[in-house]
Amino acid sequence: MVSLKDIARKCGVSTATVSKALNDQKDIGESTKHRIKETAEKMGYFPNAAARALKTNRSYNLGVLFKEEAGSGLRHEYFSGVLNGFKSQAESQGYDITFINTAFEGRSMSYYEHCRYRNFEGVVIVCADYSDPDVIELMNSDLPAVTIDYVHFNCTAVSSNNVKGMEDLVRYIYSKGHRKIAYIHGQTFSYVTKERLASFYRVCEELKIDVPEEYIRTAAYLETKDAALQTRELLKLEDPPTCIIYPDDTSLIGGRNVIVGEGLRIPDDISIAGYDGSRMSQLLYPKITTIEQDTDGIGKEAAIRLIQSIENPKTTLVEQIVIEGTLLEGQSVGQLKI
């Protein structure tokens, strides 16, 4: 690793002169300063992070809280896309990211304590139990924070447009002639579920679609077993739906397996639709009708907003930023005669 001494030796100046040049101090000539900076760049010099932190009182490090209940971890396509977008944007603006935990040297600490211990300048809450006291403490703290898919009075929130996404999906299904539409949604405590479910009911009301209570069911996100169970119950109904919307593209697989197992054809006998726009959904046959979420855009916007709140705290407002999704028509919703 290139040191100040290496640069001083190359330029024929003292280490102190090199330090002054790299820190833009005024008591050194511009030509000498330029020569030293140019030499440092050519030699691949990087300032020591600890030394920079001592000088600027800044760590340029962002905390990431990611506690995902389904057990998929970083294999979760939606969250991995968001994290990748956040990482690339943060790094392009000169920041590092570190995951937050609650254990250190055999003792536990709160999320907020870990953030302070690591000297994080801000934190993005990508996925968490928002009823957890530790998460609430973090959101209520003086530490700049951005949440993903959750609205809190003290944090800027960045989310996919769940309301319009569900509206676009239902209107498309309606345009294909379907009037008996079932919706297997995710956990009811989820902010995302509440938005999508409200939008589903609102659009059905506008389109004058009757929604029997037995058409609305719950299955955990990314859980194929729950979705399979609820699909089987829907198919047993005296008046079954002609189309089923699932919580996400992964849980849809559970329902799809039941439908195929019953000898039914998609979309000839029954139509299905998912949510997320996962790569897998477009590899299945028939291709799944779904809403593709701009995960990269969500992550990048979260990083931009968080860094903005760190660097310009006096002009930063707590906002709710909505990122648009895209309807992928696929082939899993068939045309019915109206």
Q: H helices of 188-246, where?
A: 191-206, 224-236
In sequence order, what are the beta bridge partners of 272? 244
| DSSP structural state of residue 287 | P
Residues forming a β-bridge with 16: none
Query: What is the per-residue pLDDT across 259-311, written as a single tens digit (0 to 9) for each?
Result: 999 999 999 999 999 999 999 899 999 999 999 999 999 999 999 999 999 99
Order of strands across the sheet that contains 156-160: 96-99, 61-66, 122-127, 145-148, 156-160, 320-323
Q: Which of 64, 62, 114, 48 is nearest to 90 (CA)?
A: 62
CB contact set of 148 (below 8 Å; sequence gap of 6+):
82, 124, 125, 126, 127, 157, 158, 159, 298, 302
The torsion defined by the Cα of 308, 310, 311 and 314, in degrees rounded to 10, comes to: 90
The reported pLDDT for the residue numbered 43 is 86
Q: Look up tokens 């399979």; give the residue.
A: 228
Residue 5 has a pLDDT of 87
CATH 1.20.1260.10 fits 1-42, yes or no: no
Query: Judging by DSSP bridges, how do beta strands 320-323 and 156-160 pair with one another?
Result: parallel
As annotated, the residues of the chain forming the CATH 1.10.260.40 domain(s) are 1-42
The CATH class of the 61-160+296-326 domain is: alpha beta
Q: According to the model, what pLDDT value does residue 71 have?
A: 60
Q: pLDDT tens across 66-120, in order? A: 987 666 667 778 899 999 999 999 999 989 999 998 766 667 889 999 999 889 9
The amino acid at residue 77 is E
Of residues 215 and 14, more confidently modeled: 215
Note the pTM of the prediction, 2 decimals: 0.82
- Enumerate the β-bridge partners of residue 290: 328
Q: How far apart are CA 237 and CA 19, in angstroms?
A: 77
Provide the b/e sequence for 11-37 (b: ≥16 CB within 10 Å). Answer: bebeeebbbbbbeeeeebeeeebebbb
Q: Which CATH superfamily is domain 162-293 in?
A: Response regulator (3.40.50.2300)
Strands 103-104 and 107-108: antiparallel
Task: Examine the pLDDT at 46 and tell me if it is beyond 70.
Answer: yes
Does the pLDDT at position 215 exceed 60? yes
CA torsion, ordered 191, 195, 201, 202, to nearest 10 deg:
150
Residues of the chain with CATH 3.40.50.2300: 61-160+296-326, 162-293
